[in-house]
Amino acid sequence: MIRYHSTRDPRKTPVRFEDALLKGLAPDGGLYVPDGIPSLDPTNWLSADSLPELGVSVLRRWLEPEVPLSALESILHDALDFPCPLVQLSEDLFVLELFHGPTLSFKDFAARTMARLMQHFLRQRGERRIILVATSGDTGSAVADGFAGQDNIEVVLLYPLGKVSDVQERQLIVRRPGVRALAVRGSFDDCQRMVKEAFVDRELAHLPLSSANSINIGRLLPQSLYYLWAVRQLAQRGLDPNQVNFCVPSGNLGNLTGGVLAALMGQPVHRFLAAHNANHFFPDFLAGKVEAYEFHPTIATVSNAMDVGSPSNFERLLHLLGPERMRAWFWGTTVSDEATLERMRETHRTYGYLACPHTAVGLEALARYRAQTGDRTPLITLACAHPAKFPDAVSSALGIAVPKEEALETLWQRETQVTTVEPSLQALRQVLLS
Ligand SMILES: *Cc1c(COP(=O)(O)O)cnc(C)c1O
């Protein structure tokens, strides 16, 4: 059975998956990492007929017997019930579309799986949780949607009023069972501060508060699965599954960490490309310009779901791989907004493919990588969100309206539920205690 310990615990005190999942962050402020990685035979993914089936044969090696096989099967078949196609752009270039879930970003894979895993353990314990999330982008809607209707879990999500796009706001405030949306008269930082204060507030100490943010190990395991499913699809097209590079548009480095887990389980990956926007800490680290973790304030960009100045999963990657291995295996670059929009145009012109700004950061990075290194290993780049979520970027890059997308159109017909609150702990307390 795989156990976990904190990146900051020199004694590596082991905890069960259940505890790592329900706690999120370790008590010492570190991140949970596995004490070993199951080594798997590639037939586990190369012979799978569907993503849920692949997920079961891989994750049972991580989760049995804590999660019995039958429970894992129903969790994954229920959570991962949407397509994840590999689209070919050219002979050696593929896009893995991760945006066909209910909220149209890759966050659905992790949020939906994690919600069902939490529900599984909470039912067993006869406990409930209130999940608090501060959000400015895709995480909030994926968590709200993924956790909605799980009977032992309630979600309270906070977003900055007037600071998210119309589409994003709609996705946050449509009425969902067990979800309360709070529009905070303040910034994203206010929302985050309120959540942090709530966790240490004495008046709220009796409430079973929990979080679902991107450092939870429960989000990383499901994110390893689609890398393997991509390789499976590559092999189906007659390509060598052992020759592949992945390009990952990155912010907090959770998606990339999922890929690293897939590789450590036994899938050969020649290179990982970390494609960042103007938030350049990680590419700087890979280039040897900085030696260790540094705090950087966040820079706002058109690929806003990647606006993370100081990626928290860095600590986990460093612990798993160490700096030399990271620098040998990863290649990084930082892409400006101008270059992002230009790459959206270029991709549309060359391949007739409409990429969201995040995906375009990846496409620009891989073009630079190939020009710089001449490496023509077949490359899969991750398409993280549906372009229809970013109509403004699409119209400023291409001068066209984004094609209508069913899942977003129906949002405008649905009922909404939102409470506007002041940016204070007192306001959040009132909501939580009511
Ligand atoms: C969250 C997100 C990212 C960044 O992923 P990380 O795991 O934080 O690196 C990139 N693109 C989109 C569309 C996202 O929602």
Instruction: Say yes or no: domain 82-105+218-398 is CATH 3.40.50.1100.
Output: yes
Is 289 a known active-site residue?
no
In ligand 1, which atom is closest to the CA atom of 359? 11
- Residue pair 137/304 in contact (Cβ under 8 Å)? The answer is yes
Ligand 1 contact, 276 CB (< 6 A): no
The predicted pLDDT at position 277 comes to: 97
Separation CA 182–CA 423 (nearest Å):
10
144 closest CA partner among 99, 179, 118: 179
Residue 365 CA to ligand 1 center (angstroms) comes to 15
Q: Are strands 86-90 and 93-97 parallel, antiparallel or unpaired?
A: antiparallel
358 closest CA partner among 392, 333, 384: 384
- Which residues, at least 6 apart from 31, have a Cβ–Cβ distance to it below 8 Å? 6, 7, 25, 215, 217, 312, 313, 315, 316, 319
Residue 238 CA to ligand 1 center (angstroms) comes to 30
- Choice from 306, 359, 364, 394 to test ligand 1 binding pocket (greatest atom count within 8 A of CB): 306
Instruction: Give the burial class of 116: count Cβ atoms within 10 A of its Cβ; 0-12 exposed, 13-18 middle, 19 or more buried.
Output: buried
Separation CA 3–CA 62 (nearest Å):
9
In ligand 1, which atom is closest to the CA atom of 138? 15
Q: Measure the CA angle with vertex 266, ends 260 and 272; round to 5°.
A: 35
Percent of the chain that is helix, strand, coil (3-state, to 5):
45, 15, 35
Ligand 1 contact, 219 CB (< 6 A): no
Ligand 1 contact, 253 CB (< 6 A): yes
| Alpha helix (H) residue ranges in 165-280 | 166-173, 188-200, 217-236, 254-265
User: pLDDT tens track of the chain, all 434 residues?
Assistant: 899 999 999 999 999 999 999 988 888 989 999 999 999 999 999 999 999 999 999 999 999 999 999 999 999 999 999 999 999 999 999 999 999 999 999 999 999 999 999 999 999 999 999 999 988 778 899 999 999 999 899 999 999 998 888 888 999 999 999 999 999 999 888 898 898 899 889 999 999 998 887 789 999 999 999 999 999 999 999 999 999 999 999 999 999 999 999 999 999 999 999 999 999 999 999 999 998 888 888 888 999 889 888 898 999 999 999 999 999 999 999 999 999 999 999 999 999 999 999 999 999 999 999 999 999 999 999 999 999 999 889 999 999 888 888 888 888 999 999 999 999 999 999 999 98
Complete DSSP assignment for 14-55? -B-HHHHHHH-B-TTS-BEEESS-----THHHHT-SSHHHHH
- Choice from 95, 98, 104, 106 to test ligand 1 binding pocket (greatest atom count within 8 A of CB): 106
The CA-atom distances, in angstroms, between 103 and each of 141, 180, 213, 388, 410 are 6, 17, 17, 11, 12
- Residue pair 181/145 in contact (Cβ under 8 Å)? The answer is no
Closest residue by Cα to atom 14, ligand 1, is: 305
266 torsion bin: left (phi>0), alpha (psi -120 to 50), beta (else): left
Residue 246 CA to ligand 1 center (angstroms) comes to 15
The CA-atom distances, in angstroms, between 191 and each of 2, 50, 184 are 35, 39, 7
Ligand 1 contact, 136 CB (< 6 A): no
**Position 290, amino acid:** V
Tokens 């928290």 sit at which residue?
A: 312
Residue 405 CA to ligand 1 center (angstroms) comes to 21
- How many C-beta atoms lie closer than 10 Å to residue 408's C-beta? 18
The predicted pLDDT at position 1 comes to: 86
The predicted pLDDT at position 293 comes to: 85
Biggest CA–CA distance in the chain, Å, is 61
- Which residues, at least 6 apart from 122, have a Cβ–Cβ distance to it below 8 Å? 22, 128, 129, 152, 153
Ligand 1 contact, 252 CB (< 6 A): yes
Residue 253 CA to ligand 1 center (angstroms) comes to 8
Ligand 1 contact, 60 CB (< 6 A): no
**Candidate list 12, 23, 107, 404, residue with the active-site label:** 107
Q: Cis ω on the peptide bond leading into residue 65 (within 30° of 0)?
A: yes
The predicted pLDDT at position 215 comes to: 83
Structure-token pair, residue 7: 């990146």
In ligand 1, which atom is closest to the CA atom of 358? 11
Ligand 1 contact, 116 CB (< 6 A): no
- Residue 286: enclosing H or E segment and its boundaries? helix 281-286
Ligand 1 contact, 384 CB (< 6 A): yes
93 closest CA partner among 245, 225, 236: 245
| Count of alpha carbons within 13 angstroms of residue 244, beta-carbon side | 26
Closest residue by Cα to atom 8, ligand 1, is: 252
Separation CA 74–CA 426 (nearest Å):
40
Separation CA 103–CA 142 (nearest Å):
6
Separation CA 396–CA 390 (nearest Å):
10
Residue 358 CA to ligand 1 center (angstroms) comes to 8
| Predicted model pTM | 0.95
Ligand 1 contact, 251 CB (< 6 A): yes
Residue 170 CA to ligand 1 center (angstroms) comes to 19
- Residue pair 234/244 in contact (Cβ under 8 Å)? The answer is yes
What burial letters (b/e) apply to 69-82, b meaning 16+ CB within 10 Å? eebbbebbeebbee
16 closest CA partner among 35, 40, 29: 35
Residue 307 CA to ligand 1 center (angstroms) comes to 9
Q: Would you kindly state where each structural domain of the chain is located, as residue ranges? A: 82-105+218-398
Separation CA 218–CA 111 (nearest Å):
9
Ligand 1 contact, 241 CB (< 6 A): no
298 closest CA partner among 286, 310, 290, 312: 310
325 torsion bin: left (phi>0), alpha (psi -120 to 50), beta (else): alpha
Ligand 1 contact, 357 CB (< 6 A): no
Ligand 1 contact, 254 CB (< 6 A): yes
In ligand 1, which atom is closest to the CA atom of 107? 15
Residue 306 CA to ligand 1 center (angstroms) comes to 5
